[in-house]
Amino acid sequence: QVYLAESGGGTVRAGGKLRLSCTATGSTNAMKYMAWFRRGSGEEREGVAIFYWISGATHYPDSVKGRFTISRDNAKKMLFLQMSDLKPDDSGEYYCAANTDYASEPPFSPRKYRYWGRGTQVTVAS
């Protein structure tokens, strides 16, 4: 079992920056992926960044590429999301997700991730 806790959300003006953090505890030694998702006004969760834990590779959708950066502190089992040039459309609840097993789903399919945090709210004011 892995437990995830996000922090760092808040309200920022358009063009501003925020850094989100996610702390993973529990059985984290076999971590395979960690990612950030968000849910805006719609129902679906949208993946915004993935970190492949073993290779260190990262991947972003076009909507955030060049503005968001995912990183980690492996020793502390923490995941970060540095967000810059924020836009009102970036507003939403941001979730940390993880899996300790390999999964064949695409990087930003929520089904790829077994564990989820409770989320942290990001609001970007225009």
What pLDDT is attached to residue 17?
Answer: 98
For 11, 18, 41, 53, 126, the CA distances from 58, given in Å and listed in that order, are 26, 19, 26, 9, 29
Within a 10 A sphere around the Cβ of 109, how many other Cβ atoms?
A: 12
Run of H or E including 24: strand 18-26
Residue numbers in the chain where pLDDT is lower than 70 = none
Distance CA 68, CA 47 (A): 12
What pLDDT is attached to residue 72?
Answer: 96
Give 67-96 pLDDT, tens digit per residue: 999 999 989 999 999 999 999 999 999 999
What pLDDT is attached to residue 43?
Answer: 75
What pLDDT is attached to residue 27?
Answer: 92
What pLDDT is attached to residue 45?
Answer: 94
